[in-house]
């Protein structure tokens, strides 16, 4: 599919954007813990819920 969709006049900027976007993976993903997994996002939200009783004074 990639070849079919390639647009010659925009492929240069697209590749630059792609490289810039994926740079974050290069920089940040190297030291992810083996146990890290996508579902821990939901767990983080659930764990971060207000505990009740934390109303302002």
Partner 1 sequence: MTDWTLEGLAAAIRAGKISPVEATRDCLARIDRLDGGLRAFIAVDQAGALETARRLEAEQGRGAWRGPLHGVPLAFKDLCFIRGLPTSCGTRTAEYFLAEGDCTVVARLAAAGAVTLGKLNMSELAMGPFGDNAHHGHARNPWRTGHCPGGSSSGSAVAVAAGLALGAVGSDTGGSIRLPAAACGIVGLKPTYGRVSRAGAMPLSWSNDHVGPMARTVRDCALLLQVMAGPDALDATASPAPVPDYVAALDGRVAGLRVGVVENYFFQGIDAEMEAGVRRAADVIAQLGARVSELQVPDPRTMSDVTNIVSRSEASTIHARLLRERPHELQPVVRARLELGMHIPAYDYLQALRLRARLTRGFIAQVFAEVDVLVAPVIPEPAPPLAHATLGPVHELVARQGRFSRLTRPFNGLGLPALSVPCGFSSTGLPLAFQIVGRPFDEATVLRLGDAYQHATDWHLQRPPLS
- Residue 8 as a binder of partner 1 (CB under 8 A): the answer is no
How far lies 48's CA from each of 30, 35, 43, 44, 54, in Å? 26, 20, 8, 6, 13
- Residue 29 as a binder of partner 1 (CB under 8 A): the answer is yes
Rounded Cα gap, residues 18 and 23, in angstroms: 8
Give me the least distance between CB of 8 and partner 1, in Å please.
12
State the residues that interact with partner 1 by CB under 8 A: 1-2, 4-7, 10, 13-14, 17-18, 21-25, 28-29, 32-33, 36-50, 54-57
């Amino acid at each position: 599919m990639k070849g079919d969709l390639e647009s010659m006049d925009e492929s240069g900027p697209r590749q630059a954007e792609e490289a810039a976007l994926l740079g974050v993976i290069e920089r940040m993903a190297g030291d992810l813990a083996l146990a890290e997994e996508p579902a821990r996002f939901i767990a983080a939200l659930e764990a971060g819920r207000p505990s009740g009783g934390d109303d302002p004074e």
